[in-house]
Amino acid sequence: MSDLDAFITGLPKAELHLHIEGSLEPEQMFEFARRNGVEIPFGSVEEVRAAYEFSNLQDFLDIYYAGASVLQTEEDFRDMAMAYFDRAAADGVVHAEIFFDPQTHTHRGIPFGVAANGLLAGMAEAEAKHGLTSKLILCFLRHLDEEDAFRTLEQAHPWIEQITGVGLDSSEIGHPPSKFERVFAAAAAMGLKRVAHAGEEGPPEYVHEALDLLHIDRLDHGNRSLEDPALVTKLARSGMTLTVCPLSNVKLCNVASIEVHPIDEMLRKGLRATVNSDDPAYFGGYVGENYRAIARGRGLGRDEVVTLARNSFLGSFLPDEAVTAHLERLDAYVEAN
C-alpha cells in the first residue's frame, strides 16, 4: 500500500451517497435467500459476481432490484446495514447519510416499517460499536409515478422524525425531476432535506430542474453539469455539494475509465465535489477504494484528497457544530500524518 493509500484509509470522511441495498454482497444475498427460503437465479457467489457487467444504469438496476428480493425481515435490513457500517468504519468513515428505496420493498409486500426499523437498528448499533453516526434518506423510485411517491411519503409518517430527507433515484432518462415537483414540495413542508440523482446519465437540463423545481440541498452525481458552463457557475456560486461516485461512473459506462474521470476538473471549476461509493457491492469498491482509485487514476495529491474529505463534512446534513468538530479532527489527522 502506498503512503497516500494508507493516508486515505485513515483520513476521517463522511459518505453521502450510498444506497444501502447496493451494499448487499453476494455472500449475504445467499445467506438471506437460504434463511428466508427465497429462490435466486444464481448457483454460486462467483456466478453472481460474473453477472455484474453493466453497459448502462438500467442494466445494473435490473439486477439490483432482483438482488433486493432476498431482504424479507428487519433482521436482514439490520444485518445488511451493519455489514456496510463495519466496512465503512474500516475505511475511515465517521458519518454516513444512507439512501434506502422503500418502494423496492413495499411493492413486494414488505411493509415500510420492516425496512425502516431494521435500518434504524443497524444505525444505532453502528454508533454504539464504531462511534459512526448516520442519517437516513428515503429515495423515491423515479420510474414509478407521482402518486406512488406520495403514498410512500405517507407510509413514512410514523418514522418521519428519524428520516432526514428525501431523494430521487432509479432510471433517470425519461423521468425528469419535474415529475416529482409536488412530492418534493410536500417533503419540504414536512421539514425534510431534499437530494436528487441528476446528470448521472440524464442531460444538464435535469440538473437545472432538480435545482429550480425540487430545490435540492445536495446533488447526487451531477457529472453532466460539466457540459453546461452556466450551470457549473450556478452550482459553484451556490456552494452546492455534488456526491460523485467514481467507480460507479466507470462501471455504468458514464465515464470511459478512471484515468479520464473529471473529479479534478470539478474541483478546479470550484465545485464542491465529494467521493462516494453508490452501490459498492456491485461496483467493485467501498468509499476508501473509490478515493484510492481516483487518486491513483487521476494522480491526485494529498491536498486534493483532503479537499474531497473536507467537502464530505461541509456537504453533510450535520449541524454546524458537528461539522466544525469533524473538520478539526480531520485537520489534526492531516497535521499528524
Give the residue carrying C-alpha cell 461509493: 277
For residue 44, the minimal CB distance to Zn ion (Å) is 27
Which member of 243, 248, 274, 316 binds ligand ADE (CB under 6 A)? 248
| Interacting residue with ligand ADE among 97, 200, 209, 289 (CB under 6 A) | 200
Residue of minimal CB distance from ligand ADE?
A: 169
Q: Which helix (H) or strand (E) holds 24?
A: none
Q: Is residue 209 flagged as an active site residue?
A: no
**Least Cβ distance, residue 111 to ligand ADE (angstroms):** 21
295 makes contact, choosing from Zn ion, ligand ADE, none, with CB < 5 to 8 Å by partner type, with none
When binding is defined by CB under 6 A, the residue of 12, 22, 67, 165 that contacts ligand ADE is 22
The amino acid that residue 25 corresponds to is E
CB 243 within 8 A of CB 219: yes
Count of residues making up the chain: 337
Q: Note whether 197 binds ligand ADE by CB under 6 A.
A: yes
Task: Determine, following the binding rule CB under 6 A, whether residue 24 of this chain makes contact with ligand ADE.
Answer: no
In whole angstroms, what is the distance from residue 175 CA to residue 141 CA?
10
For ligand ADE, the closer CB: 58 or 307: 58
The binding track of 45-84 with respect to ligand ADE, each residue x by CB under 6 A or -, is: ------------x------x--------------------
Which run of H or E residues covers position 228? Answer: none
Angle between helices 146-155 and 181-189 in degrees, nearest 10: 20
Which of 25, 74, 91, 279 binds ligand ADE (CB under 6 A)? It is 279
- Partner from ligand ADE, Zn ion, none contacting 57, C-beta within 5 to 8 A by type: ligand ADE
Q: How far apart are CA 209 and CA 211, in angstroms?
A: 5
Query: Which residues sit at the interface with Zn ion, rule CB under 5 A?
Result: 278
Number of residues that bind ligand ADE (CB under 6 A): 11
* Residues whose CB is less than 8 angstroms from the CB of residue 176 and which lie 6 or more positions away in sequence, other chains included: 202, 205, 206, 209
Beta carbon nearer to ligand ADE, 8 or 139:
139
Work out which of 15, 76, 79, 278 binds ligand ADE, going by CB under 6 A: 278
Pick the closer one to ligand ADE by CB: 62 or 212: 62
Q: From the candidates 200, 201, 209, 289, which is the catalytic residue?
A: 200
Residues 309-320: b if buried by 16+ CB within 10 A, e if exposed: bbbbbbbbbbee
What are the grid coordinates assigned to 277, written together? 461509493
Task: Please state the closest distance from residue 321 (CB atom) to Zn ion, in A.
Answer: 29
Closest distance between ligand ADE and the C-beta of residue 202, in Å?
A: 10
Least Å distance, CB 37 to Zn ion, is 30
Q: Would residue 170 be called left, alpha or beta, if left means φ above 0 and alpha means ψ between -120 and 50 degrees?
A: left
Contacts of 28-35 spanning 24+ positions with Cβ under 8 A: 28/79, 28/80, 28/83, 29/67, 29/70, 32/70, 32/71, 32/72, 32/76, 32/79, 32/80, 33/70
Q: Which residues bind ligand ADE (CB under 6 A)?
A: 19, 22, 57, 64, 169-170, 197, 200, 248, 278-279
Q: Indicate which residues carry an active-site annotation.
A: 200
